Amino acid sequence: MSEKVLMKGNEAIAEAAILAGCRHYFGYPITPQTEVAAYMSKKMPKIGGTFLQAESEIAAINMVYGVASTGKRAMTSSSSPGIALKCEGISYMAGADLPGLIVNVQRGGPGLGGIQPSQSDYFLATRGPGHGDFHVLVLAPSSVQEMADLTVKAFDLADKYRMPAMLLADGTMGQMMEPVELPEPKEVTADKSWAVTGTKMERKHNIVNSLYLKPTELEEKNIERFERYKEIEEKECLWEEFMMEDAEICVVSYGITARVSRNAIIEARKQGIKVGMIRPITLWPFPKKALLLAADKVKSFLSVELNMGQMQEDIELAIQCKRPVGLCKRVGGMIPSPEEVLNSIKEANK
């Protein structure tokens, strides 16, 4: 066990990625994820790794595509408008079954939006960020410790299922400082016999590709990929339950808003309101089963998020509309206070 160090969320991502065996980082400057690149630019040259400030977000994700093709761990980080630019490359990675990590420290949108925290890329992340029929793994940290832990987890899952993973944080999580216990350094053990490393004249050539001109072949590839997705939905859902034993209202929230909600729930409990929380840690796969089980016990749900109700739709789908799902939201870079969430809980309790 390593000792605890005080780190910014963005720095925790960078250090954890290095400890997870990532030696190739490609990025382009954008607020509020700057510290990831700054950290990598200092550290990578000292450990024989690559830090490259790419000419664009598009180039950066394609450099990740290149490294991933060789079977090594690679990552890029950006914030919402930059992630939109990466979507083409993410789709190609999904189509070529390439693992890799994309960090999205979200800010408000659409367009240039603002630079304050947001969760408005929920749809973009969970619906398959790019053209075509696919998913990426989406992990949503709610503490600096999770920024580190889920970075490692994202790399591991991406390798295991040969697909891109997105760490979906927000400006607050990126800038926040907390003590963090860094993960142990690890060797990457995933089988990557598919990678392009040179044939050494010992095998037939490997091809990394997403083009299938025969419709039957492309259909088969898509169906195979979705079978993998089904397995992921069954095995890899992560969530945390808080005060749910006797809860009548179930708050659902992730990232920074889950922390605000926690305080609001503690206060509500003091006022005699039976409220708890299910905090999704993976947003795709979405913890549908946990929510559906909760639907049999609680009277209503309350989605607390930094967008106009994107996850609210997923909750309704997950619980098959068995209970009403309220929404407590702030957008544009605003974060609700614990009082605002408490008021929404009281409203739901009426």
Partner 1 sequence: MSQVVFDKPKALTDAVLHYCPGCTHGIVHRLVAEAIDELGIEGRTIGIAPVGCSVMAYDYFACDMIEASHGRAPAVATGVKRSMPENIVFTYQGDGDLASIGLCETVSTAARGENITIIFINNAIYGMTGGQMAPTSLIGQVTQTSPYGRNPETQGYPINICELLATLEAPAYLERVTVNNVKNVRNAKKAIKKAFQNQVEGKGFSLIEVVSSCPTNWGMTPQKALEWIDEHMLPQYPLGVYRDKENGVGLAKKEA
Long-range pairs, 297-300, Cβ under 8 A, ≥24:
297/247, 298/247, 298/248, 298/249, 298/250, 298/323, 299/248, 299/249, 299/323, 300/248, 300/249, 300/250, 300/324, 300/325, 300/326, 300/348
Closest separation in Å from C-beta 6 to partner 1: 32
Closest separation in Å from C-beta 229 to partner 1: 22
Tokens describing residue 295: 């639907």
Q: Which is nearer to partner 1, 58 or 334 (CB)?
A: 58
Q: Which is nearer to partner 1, 54 or 243 (CB)?
A: 54
Go through the chain and tell me how many residues it has.
Answer: 350
Question: Residue 329 and residue 341: Cα distance in Å, rounded?
Answer: 9
Question: Residue 162 and residue 174: Cα distance in Å, rounded?
Answer: 27
Q: Which is nearer to partner 1, 52 or 266 (CB)?
A: 52
Closest separation in Å from C-beta 54 to partner 1: 7
Residues 6+ apart with CB under 8 A from 225: 94, 97, 134, 163
Closest separation in Å from C-beta 76 to partner 1: 10
- The one-letter code for the residue type at 161 is Y
Vertex 102 angle, CA 96 and 105, to 5°: 155
Q: Which is nearer to partner 1, 60 or 139 (CB)?
A: 60
Provide the binding-site residues for partner 1, judged by CB under 8 A.
Answer: 24, 26, 50, 52, 54-56, 58-60, 62-70, 72, 74, 88-89, 92, 96, 196-202, 205-211
Closest separation in Å from C-beta 199 to partner 1: 5
Closest separation in Å from C-beta 24 to partner 1: 6
Q: Tell me if 70 sits within 8 A of 20, measured CB to CB.
A: no
Q: Which is nearer to partner 1, 132 or 179 (CB)?
A: 132
Q: Tell me if 106 sits within 8 A of 79, measured CB to CB.
A: yes
Closest separation in Å from C-beta 26 to partner 1: 7
Q: Tell me if 292 sits within 8 A of 258, measured CB to CB.
A: no
Q: Which is nearer to partner 1, 92 or 254 (CB)?
A: 92
Question: Residue 52 and residue 292: Cα distance in Å, rounded?
Answer: 45
Q: Which is nearer to partner 1, 209 or 337 (CB)?
A: 209
Closest separation in Å from C-beta 38 to partner 1: 19
Q: Which is nearer to partner 1, 62 or 310 (CB)?
A: 62
Residue 115: count of CB within 10 angstroms of its CB: 15
26 closest CA partner among 16, 14, 10, 9: 14
